[in-house]
Amino acid sequence: MPGYEVIGEEEQREINEVFAKGGVLFRHGFEPMRNGCFKVKELETAFAAQMNSKFALGVTSGTAALRVALAALNIGKGDEVITQSFTFVATVEAIIESGATPVCLNIDKTLNLDPKEIENAITPKTKAVIAVHMLGTPARIDQIKQICDKHNLFLIEDTAWGCGGKFKNKPLGSWGDIGAFSFDYAKIITTGEGGMLIFNDEILYKKAHAWHDHGHENNPSVPRWEDTRSSSGFNYRMMELQGAIGLAQLRKLPEIIKAQRKNKELIWDAINDLPEIEKREVPKGSYETADALIFLVKNSNLAKKCREELLKVGVSTKILPEAYTWHFAGSWTHIKQLMKSKKTNSTNDYTKSEQIIRRAVSIPISIHLPKGMPSIVRTCIMNALNE
């Protein structure tokens, strides 16, 4: 569960420092007033180091991070971008905002993009794949990267839920050309709203940096109002208070993940012997963020019953089974661009995804596990199974 559980004095201290040093809230300029205080830049440097990447760029949200990533890769009108049919709608919104066409494919039992679906969906217009590490379990990112390399496609990782996770010892987000993170209030670390991109390619980083700031190139030899520019852009700049909170949260990230992983195991240990429960598949080599514990039951009715039993004792589920309408492409009839993509090579038959997610129950994992939680969850699931 999110970093909001551990927001406290450390975040407050970081914010106080911004005000103590002059109260400049803008990430650029105002040097005489800010006494060397650049919280967004400090966060970017620390984040890049923690993610074993050369560069990081703070932005206003995870959605913005995806949009900036697509702009940096020059993806736009006439291009197709492959992603998965189980993700938050933001992944697809960012593709549409860039002018490209989203092509949503089926998931496998990892609840992430099924690599076996990708090659069939590639057309001459395909430019990139956005793989999502949904709810903290890594996608089969090594296989997805191999396919992208073979077909010369860019790979973006939607790491909204994967911050601090790893696959084969490599941080999630650092497998692709660009990793896009969310720091919204429900995420593993939070700045209220906010996001981050990571890169190893300096040219991509510079393009993203300029594009997220109206095209500003931050040319050190001229004042900002005379700055050089070679591309258009927009404003997705992170502000200093977000940077300050992010610094305190980032220092807590390893402990957050450790606690979540431990608590997830405690709950799984309490229920794994129950009949007809199938755990979400976890690719070998994964270091999950353990944001949720997901298991599949026999059918969607039983999944709903599990939720009802949990709600009776004040425990909610997380996204599944109740909120798939926001997280499943088959439900997004309001997105006309998605309907258009039916004309692409993609099968657009989401039956396989639907068969998995409708049977899924997702238990949120908190950093501070309420007392007795594993046995409470067990009793609820048993009640549902016995009904």
Ligand X SMILES: Cc1ncc(COP(=O)(O)O)c(C=O)c1O
Residues in touch with ligand X (CB under 6 A):
61-63, 87-88, 90-91, 132, 158, 160-161, 182, 184, 195
Contact between 89 and 109 under an 8 Å Cβ cutoff? The reply is: no
Alpha helices for 219-370 (secondary structure H): 240-271, 300-312, 324-327, 336-340, 351-357
CA separation for the pair 33, 334 (Å, rounded): 48
Residue from 145, 187, 252, 264 carrying the catalytic annotation = 187
Helix (H) or strand (E) holding 294: strand 292-296
Percent helix / strand / coil, the chain, rounded to 5:
45, 15, 40
Q: In the complex, what is the shortest distance from the CB of residue 97 to ligand X, in angstroms, rounded to a whole number?
A: 12
62 vs 173, beta carbon nearer ligand X: 62
144 vs 160, beta carbon nearer ligand X: 160
Q: In the complex, what is the shortest distance from the CB of residue 182 to ligand X, in angstroms, rounded to a whole number?
A: 3
Q: In the complex, what is the shortest distance from the CB of residue 181 to ligand X, in angstroms, rounded to a whole number?
A: 8
Helix (H) or strand (E) holding 286: strand 286-287
Contact between 241 and 58 under an 8 Å Cβ cutoff? The reply is: no
Alpha helices for the chain (secondary structure H): 9-20, 31-34, 39-50, 62-72, 89-97, 118-121, 141-150, 202-211, 240-271, 300-312, 324-327, 336-340, 351-357, 373-386
Strand partners, 360: 296
115 vs 195, beta carbon nearer ligand X: 195
CA separation for the pair 87, 11 (Å, rounded): 30
Alpha helices for 3-88 (secondary structure H): 9-20, 31-34, 39-50, 62-72
158 vs 227, beta carbon nearer ligand X: 158
90 vs 377, beta carbon nearer ligand X: 90
Q: In the complex, what is the shortest distance from the CB of residue 36 to ligand X, in angstroms, rounded to a whole number?
A: 29
What single DSSP character describes residue 342? G
Q: In the complex, what is the shortest distance from the CB of residue 276 to ligand X, in angstroms, rounded to a whole number?
A: 29
141 vs 377, beta carbon nearer ligand X: 141
Q: In the complex, what is the shortest distance from the CB of residue 33 to ligand X, in angstroms, rounded to a whole number?
A: 30
Q: Nearest-CA neighbor of 78 among 329, 339, 332, 340?
A: 340
Q: Could you confirm whether 187 is annotated as catalytic?
A: yes
Strand partners, 179: 157, 198
Closest CB to ligand X belongs to which residue?
62
Question: Residues with catalytic annotation?
Answer: 187
